Amino acid sequence: MALRKALTLAVLQCTSLALQVPANVQRLDAAAAKARAEGADLLLTPEMFLTGYSIGAQAVRALAQPRDGAYAQAVAGIAQRHGIAIVWTYPESQQDSIYNAAQLTSAQGEPLLHYRKTHLYGTLDRTQFSAAAVDADNSGLAELNGWKIGLLICYDVEFPENPRRLALAGADVVLVPTANMERYDFVPATMVPTRAFENQIALAYANYCGPEGDLRYGGLSSVVDALGRPLALARRDEALLLATLTPQALDHARSEQTHLQEHAQRLRGANSAS
């Protein structure tokens, strides 16, 4: 593994432009340009950024694309043009299934990581998407500046097994696009830093703000370090957060707290006993 270097994350918090794919591509281009100008290595967007989240099953199916479709090509061009890696989110079509998906595209425009949401929340999610399996194809990590990066989407991070699974696989930072509503402020305020703390991983959480149809999003996007401490926090309004992760801070967190190490040791002991 390459030595870790400082990694600067940009987290986009914005309103949802439902059903406005060209406008969202333009917003992504502008956000990528601004994030890179401010020194970011990677830009993280909210859940279903390219199409909007609460758009209905018919629209989701009409706007869904394969993972290497026109959306991927457009994002690759933006990433190359501005020299920044991008985590972007969209409805993915595969055969007869539609998944809530995220991709990490490199600054060179190459696909580094693909992830499908495994835990669907409520009727809205379940009527629009298929739940993905937690398998080898949906549990990978990518490397950027020496950091091992994992992806989750929204509700996934609320289940402790999901960040722990990525941490045990070697993740240093987990990136979470979300569409979290105001009434669930407990998630960004408490669960996100807890997931980081209990796994000694940095975590970035990118949410919408404002209304989308009958929903009202809560904002509160954040980047927290591997001790669960905030490095950057948004309020309810649009924002572009920037935070720099350092290898020294990660090493310090993992020497201060050893939850993950001790859990891994117990797993190894249980496996050797069996």
Which residues are marked as active site?
Answer: 47, 117, 154
- Encoding tokens for residue 109? 């425009």
Backbone angles phi, psi at 249, to 5 degrees: -65, -40
CA nearest 192: which of 230, 161, 218, 151? Answer: 230
Asked whether the beta carbons of 179 and 53 are under 8 A apart, the reply is: yes
Alpha-carbon 44 to chain mean position: 6
Q: Are 107 and 129 in contact (CB under 8 A)?
A: no
Contacts 24+ apart (CB under 8 A), 118-122: 118/156, 118/162, 119/155, 119/156, 119/158, 119/159, 119/162, 120/155, 121/154, 121/155
- Pair 47, 178: CB distance under 8 Å: yes
CA distance 27 to 21: 10
